[in-house]
Chain A
């Protein structure tokens, strides 16, 4: 290690002060250099949101691969389960419009909260964005969802969280318009 005098010069330094600096000098020698931080530690880590059990870096590839396999299996199971209809159609409503456009609306059984899951199949509507509405006395009353059409035939899931007996019909209107292109 270098001599203290070599580092701070030969200017007058009180003996007491010099002894103090010498002790610091010795401590620096004993402690050795602090490590340089790698880039991933130079930035403050994101505070953890919950208790986590960190995985050693050497196992991280394995963990990512395992997570990918699990995700694929779950996706497959979800696909199979999702493909099996588990709802009973309560009723089907048909709608028609100009130019041969038509629609069928399957209403499934309502849940305990009063939500009516639906599936709307439209055929022959020009490409665009539309909304399904419930009507009362021929007027738009409550919206039941927005959907887009880009193919001649389109099927979309929708929901009507209303007491359907309060209404008397269904219509499909272009978004932002009042005029129905399909109606019951």
Chain B
């Protein structure tokens, strides 16, 4: 769970009043999610990083227009990020054939791609809600290629503890991703 217990909607309302600390917390929660979908869409790290910066500049400018009655804060932020990506695509041409995308989504139609983006957005955002200890364990377990025994050695805790913490992390993620699990 984040050290800051305020909801995204509360933070956006504060950002709209010029609260720098709320802006920092929103950035902490969403920077990796934004960069993630920017990379998926643009396939170019440099452009994706530019778009990520543009997204948070837009959040700062537009947060006062966010209306919780019209949707969840995560959805609003996702829309801001996607608009920044579209602007990024307009501003610079896509990579040439000789410069293939960094991340490829083979065989996905437009609707599937949007759904995959949204899923990644939600999952990556949910990861940010985990305590740092559990988040790093999940990332090691799923994407490092290490076995749980190797992870136990790496983080210097017993194997049973690694598994217990991983289960605890998955439970938290299940709570956070309740809508996606229905």
Residues of A within 8 Å of B, CB-based: how many?
39
Whether the pair A33, B139 counts as a contact (CB closer than 8 A) is: yes
What sequence of 0s and 1s flags, for each residue 16-56 of chain A, a beta carbon within 8 Å of any chain B beta carbon? Answer: 01001101110111111111111011101101100110101
Pick the residue among B31, B47, B120, B181 that contacts A23 (CB under 8 A).
Answer: B181
Q: A31 — which chain B residues lie within 8 A by C-beta?
A: 119-120, 122-124
Whether the pair B35, A8 counts as a contact (CB closer than 8 A) is: no
Pick the residue among B33, B60, B139, B181 that contacts A48 (CB under 8 A).
Answer: B60
Q: B1 — which chain A residues lie within 8 A by C-beta?
A: none
Q: Whole-angstrom distance between the alpha carbons of A31 and B147 in the complex?
A: 20
User: Is A127 an interface position by the 8 A CB rule?
Assistant: no
Q: A58 — which chain B residues lie within 8 A by C-beta?
A: 46, 92
Whether the pair A23, B174 counts as a contact (CB closer than 8 A) is: yes
Interface pick from B65-73, B74-82, B160-168? B160-168
Pick the residue among B28, B46, B147 that contacts A57 (CB under 8 A).
Answer: B46
Within 8 A of B (CB), among A141-174: none
Whether the pair A44, B23 counts as a contact (CB closer than 8 A) is: yes
Q: How far is the CB of A73 from chain B (nearest CB, A)?
A: 28
Pick the residue among B60, B124, B163 that contacts A47 (CB under 8 A).
Answer: B60
Whether the pair B49, A40 counts as a contact (CB closer than 8 A) is: yes
Q: Whole-angstrom distance between the alpha carbons of A82 and B175 in the complex?
A: 69
- Which residue of B is nearest A26, CB measured? B181
Q: A29 — which chain B residues lie within 8 A by C-beta?
A: 142
